[in-house]
Amino acid sequence: MLLSVLQPRAGESLLDVGCGTGFFTRELAGRVAGRIIGVDINNEWVRYAVQKGSSRTTYAVADARMLPFPKDSFDMVVSMATLCFIKDPLVAMHEIVRVTRRRFAIGLLNRKSLLWVQKGRKGGRGAYHGAHWHTVGEARSLFHGLPVRDLLVRTAIHLPTGGAASAFFERIIPSSFPTGGFILVSGEIN
């Protein structure tokens, strides 16, 4: 779903904001031909990402609310669930839009989902502890007043229990159905 909304072109660059241990950065490195950089505020996660990375990926320690790149530095920018853990998500969203030249994709956790029922209630459990879970409306509101167009909202992980039945139903539930545990908002820069 992420690649389908990004629509990468030959040689384009990509920034992964809040890359954590670099999972998405590494996955995208195999599918995006240009320069790929992952940034995260956690030194240990960045060290791990560097160890697991390849010659196609570069990593750095950086705060999503103050990215160390000039305006329009990257053709594409992604951020998967990072804004759910940032105190000032609007500041980070402004920074993401500032450094994006063409297209962005932002992943958020959906408060109107079975995943929230399982992992997000009462402050969250495990990796979800302390996360802010958005609604689709809140996700859209992050972009008010920003120079973006053609916002597209998709969701995934409607049945978070896993297994063969979940995998089957995930393929037939449309991504426009707003109950997936993961919200993906993408768009173009004006």
Percent of the chain residues past pLDDT 70, beyond the cut: 100
For residue 148, what pLDDT is reported?
98
For residue 168, what pLDDT is reported?
87
- Other CB atoms closer than 10 Å to residue 8's CB: what's the count? 18
Higher pLDDT, 70 or 169: 70
For residue 189, what pLDDT is reported?
97
For residue 176, what pLDDT is reported?
86
For residue 166, what pLDDT is reported?
85
Question: 61 and 40 in contact (C-beta within 8 Å)?
Answer: yes
Mean pLDDT of the chain: 95
Domains, the chain, in order of start with CATH, read 2-189 (3.40.50.150)
What does R_g of the chain's alpha carbons equal in angstroms? 16
For residue 181, what pLDDT is reported?
95
User: What length does the chain have?
Assistant: 190
Give CA–CA dist 34/3, Å, rounded: 14
Question: 14 and 36 in contact (C-beta within 8 Å)?
Answer: yes
In this predicted model, what pLDDT tens digit does every residue of 148-175 receive, in sequence order?
Answer: 999 999 999 999 888 888 888 888 888 8
Give CA–CA dist 181/155, Å, rounded: 7
For residue 182, what pLDDT is reported?
96
- Calculate mean pLDDT across residues 109-125: 95
Percent of the chain residues past pLDDT 90, beyond the cut: 87
In this predicted model, what pLDDT tens digit does every residue of 33-67 receive, in sequence order?
Answer: 999 999 999 999 999 999 998 899 999 999 999 99
For residue 165, what pLDDT is reported?
83
- Calculate mean pLDDT across residues 79-85: 97
- Other CB atoms closer than 10 Å to residue 151's CB: what's the count? 14
